[in-house]
């Protein structure tokens, strides 16, 4: 019984990793809808592994390390592959100049900065009730959400018609991961309403955006998340 208690959260973490691996294979093979399902599974498992560890008092250094390693695949390597797929149609052409390599590999900047972001998070004891920089799951939702909306209904086509816009998006995404901007975390420090205004504003706004915009609203929720975090900077501590 103790074995199950001590390792149940780790099993969820490894499930997150497995789902991320499967999602990447589907993405490479062009099945973006299966990738979307895998990302959802990874997000759910990533949320519940920490929840279970706290509820069962089974948190450990091993679990913390496993969590970051799993996130590196599901929310680090995967969005890098997504951006690579976005840039793939442009080959080695950049502003009409023929480069000695395909520009799609610039997409892996997101993977590199995701790795850096996770390492910084592991060493930072301040990020208990807020995130410093955009967390990797949110960044994955932003990048894949744009890709999914484009594939499903040709939304955000202006991004995908121009390699410059995609490269700018890559740079912005990479910077946000390691930026000093405080981001709302859904962890409750107290039960007082005034201490939870940022979380309530985020939750209500996100629900409304998804209801109004549906699929297009997925990346818009992350944009809203960044904006609402900027508004409540002084309350995040």
What is the C-alpha to C-alpha distance for residues 52 and 48, in angstroms, rounded to an integer?
A: 6
Contacts made by residues 52-56, CB under 8 angstroms, sequence distance 24+: 52/8, 52/9, 52/12, 53/9, 56/5, 56/8, 56/9
Is the Cα dihedral 72, 8, 15, 214 positive or negative? negative
Q: How far is CA 55 from CA 6, 12, 50, in A?
A: 11, 14, 9
Domain ranges of the chain: 2-235
Task: Kindly tell me the burial class for residue 2, based on how many C-beta atoms sit within 10 Å of its own C-beta (0-12, 13-18, 19 or more).
Answer: exposed
Give the max Cα distance, the chain: 64
The CATH number corresponding to 2-235 among 1.10.3470, 1.10.510, 1.10.10, 1.20.120 equals 1.20.120
pLDDT at 116: 96
Q: Model pTM? A: 0.92
Coil, strand, or helix at residue 85?
helix
Q: What is the enclosing helix (H) or strand (E) of 49?
A: helix 32-55
The predicted structure's pLDDT at residue 233: 87
Per-residue pLDDT of the chain (237 residues; tens, 9 = 90+): 565 666 788 889 999 999 999 999 999 999 999 999 999 999 999 988 877 867 677 677 787 889 999 999 999 999 999 999 999 999 887 777 788 889 999 999 999 999 999 999 888 877 777 889 999 999 999 999 999 999 999 999 999 999 999 999 999 999 999 999 999 987 766 667 666 788 999 999 999 999 999 999 999 999 999 999 999 988 777
Do the Cβ atoms of 226 and 176 come closer than 8 Å?
Answer: yes
């Amino acid at each position: 019984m103790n074995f199950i208690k001590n390792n149940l959260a780790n099993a969820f973490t490894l499930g997150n990793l497995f789902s991320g691996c499967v999602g990447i294979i589907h993405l490479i093979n062009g099945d973006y809808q299966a990738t979307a399902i895998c990302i959802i599974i990874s997000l759910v498992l990533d949320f519940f592994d920490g929840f279970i560890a706290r509820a069962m008092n089974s948190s450990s250094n091993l679990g913390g390390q496993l969590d970051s390693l799993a996130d590196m695949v599901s929310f680090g390597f995967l969005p890098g592959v997504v951006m690579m797929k976005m840039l793939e149609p442009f080959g080695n052409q950049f502003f009409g100049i023929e480069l000695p390599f395909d520009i799609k590999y610039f997409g892996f900047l997101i993977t590199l900065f995701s790795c850096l972001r996770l390492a910084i998070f592991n060493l930072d004891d301040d990020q208990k009730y807020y995130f410093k920089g955009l967390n990797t799951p949110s960044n994955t939702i932003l990048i894949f959400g744009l890709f999914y909306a484009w594939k499903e209904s040709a939304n955000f086509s202006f991004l995908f018609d121009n390699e410059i816009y995609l490269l700018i998006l890559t740079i912005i995404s990479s910077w946000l991961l390691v930026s000093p901007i405080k981001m709302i975390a859904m962890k409750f420090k107290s039960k007082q309403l005034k201490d939870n205004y940022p979380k309530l504003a985020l939750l209500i706004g996100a629900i409304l955006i998804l209801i109004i915009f549906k699929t297009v609203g997925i990346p818009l929720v992350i944009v809203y998340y960044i904006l609402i975090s900027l508004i409540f900077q002084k309350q995040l501590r």
